[in-house]
Amino acid sequence: MLYREAGQFKSTYAEDQQIFPIRQDRIALAVFLAFALLVVPAIGNQYWLGALLTPFLIFSLAALGLNILTGYAGQLSLGTAAFMAVGAFMAYNFVLRVPGIPILLAFVLAGICAAAVGIVFGLPSLRIKGFYLAVATLACQFFVLWALQRFGWFSNHSTSGVITAQQIVILGYAFDTPARKYLLTLGVVAVMALAAKNLMRSETGRAFMAVRDMDVAASVIGIPMMRTKLLAFAISSFYCGVAGALHAFCYLGTVEPEAYSLDLSFRILFMIIIGGVGSILGAFLGAAFITLFPIFLNLASSWVNEFFGVEISHAVVSNLESIIFGGLIIFFLIVEPQGLARLWQITKEKLRLWPFPH
């Protein structure tokens, strides 16, 4: 009843081709963005903004980057964390070595550096596919971390290889509190997510999907294989690189290369698998599940402790948390292998018919 597009007539091509063709979607998105931009910083405390929402947004962006590559262009990659590391370290170096560089420009340049690395390590994708490609991108994961640790230049010859992100100042305005950092992150993520959503509807996005679905057929109908695959790597790595820069500057502040280990690459891969492969929304849902859910479980266990007055040993609780989390991942994959985004899509389809399904 509420979510029905009947009566929304499109009289121009522009209207027909807009990103969100259904009016309710547009309103919902505008309300949601306004809420995230205006209300959340006002009601959220430091814990919510600094420790939950900011990392959630950053990992959403990284998952989005991987989703462009894996979900849309069909190239499996295990180098996501490495691209993030490139972004983080290069953003640091740009700010350090180019005096007076605007921070957003540094982020973009860092993303471009990550994209360049992505193109180099995307070259094997021209010859190999699937799991073999995943192993090839594994090389990227190890090589980048190795390079960041071995060459002192990247960390400005810090003895322990750790970098400390500089202060973020845009037009004289310092982003120094968790609320401000959250707003900056939200701004960057919102713009980039909209761009991704739009890109995937364009010729480029359709070429990506054609390559994913069957690359031989795609090349037969005239899609340049090399350009498309490398472009997918470049765009994906750019997103991951910007996410890495945000991770260092807006979230942790001080990062070591080991923070971007293979473990993180896997976590981001799990995000898109759980959230939904080949879906922009899926990246956000998956990131929420992987980053926020363990924390919720952790908090819930302390509520259970207080509420029922049972003192469970903390070691048991901590291990239980991992067990429940793992169990839920399996549950979701069995119930909905296409991810949480698909669940949302089904909900929307049902909503269209509601309250008269037949």
Partner 1 sequence: MKRTSLAVAALALAAAAGPAAAQNEQFVPANFYWVGPYAPGGSGFGGGMIDYFAMLNERDHGINGVKLTWEKCETEYRNDRGVECYERSKNKGPTGASVIHPLSTGITYSLIEKATADKIPVISLGYGRTDAADGRVFPYIFPLITTYWSQNTAKIKFIGMKEGGMDKLQGKKIVNIYHDSAYGKETIPVLDVQAKKYGFQVTHIAVPHPGNEQQAQWLQIRQIKPDWVILRGWGVMNPTALKAAAKIGFPRDRIVGVWWSGAEEDVIPAGDAAKGYIAAGFNLPGTSFPVMQDILKNVYKKGKGEMEDSSRIGSIYHTRGVVAGIITAEAIRTAQAQFGKGKPMTGEQVRWGIEHLNIDDKRLKELGAVGLMQPLKVSCMDHEGGGAVKFLQWDGKKWNVITDWIASDQSIVRPMVEASAAQYAKEKGIAPRDCSKEK
Nearest one of 186, 184, 156, 157 to 168, comparing CA atoms: 184
**Smallest distance from the beta carbon of 58 to partner 1, in angstroms?**
10
Please, which residues have CB within 8 angstroms of residue 177's CB and are 6 or more apart in sequence? 46
Q: Does 159 bind partner 1 (CB under 8 A)?
A: yes
Q: Measured from the CB atom, is 116 or 262 closer to partner 1? A: 262
Note whether 307 binds partner 1 by CB under 8 A. yes
Taken in order 220, 221, 227, 230, the sign of the CA dihedral is negative
Minimal distance, residue 120 CB to partner 1, in Å: 22
Q: Which listed residue (23, 97, 227, 314) binds partner 1 by CB under 8 A?
A: 314
**Which of 145, 280 has the CB closer to partner 1?**
145
- Judge contact between 176 and 167, C-beta under 8 A: yes
300 near partner 1 (CB under 8 A): yes
- For 201, residues 6+ apart whose C-beta sits below 8 A from its C-beta are 17, 19
Question: CB of 159: closest distance to partner 1 in angstroms?
Answer: 5
Distance CA 88, CA 185 (A): 14
Our CB check for partner 1 shows the closer of 26 and 314 to be 314
Q: Map residues 26-55 to x or -, x wherever contact with partner 1 holds by CB under 8 A.
A: --------------------xx--xxx--x
- Does 153 interact with partner 1 (rule: CB under 8 A)? no
Compute the residue count for the chain.
358
The binder of partner 1 chosen from 164, 198, 202, 347 (CB under 8 A): 164
Q: How far is the CB of 88 from partner 1 (least distance, A)?
A: 12
CB of 147: closest distance to partner 1 in angstroms? 13
The secondary structure element, H or E, covering residue 314 is helix 314-335
Distance CA 265, CA 271 (A): 10
Amino acid in the structure at residue 228: T
Subset of residues 237 to 256 that bind partner 1, contact rule: CB under 8 A:
251-256
Nearest-approach distance from CB 56 to partner 1, in angstroms: 11
Is it true that the peptide bond before 21 is cis, omega within 30 degrees of 0?
no
From the list 19-27, 183-191, 214-222, 292-300, the region that binds partner 1 by CB under 8 A is 292-300
Strands, E assignment, the chain: 163-164, 169-170, 173-174, 254-255
Q: What is the DSSP letter of 258?
A: G
Q: How far apart are CA 326 and CA 345, in angstroms?
A: 24
Size of the site for partner 1 (CB under 8 A): 44
Interface residue with partner 1 among 315, 330, 334, 335 (CB under 8 A) is 315
Query: Is 199 an interacting residue with respect to partner 1 (CB under 8 A)?
Result: no
Distances (CA, A) of 38 to 44, 154, 179: 11, 37, 11
Give least dist CB 339 to partner 1, A: 23
Angle between helices 103-122 and 130-150 (to 10 degrees): 130
Residues interacting with partner 1, by CB under 8 A? 46-47, 50-52, 55, 96, 149, 156, 159-162, 164, 166-167, 176, 251-256, 258-259, 261, 291, 294-295, 298-300, 302-303, 306-307, 313-315, 317-319, 321-322
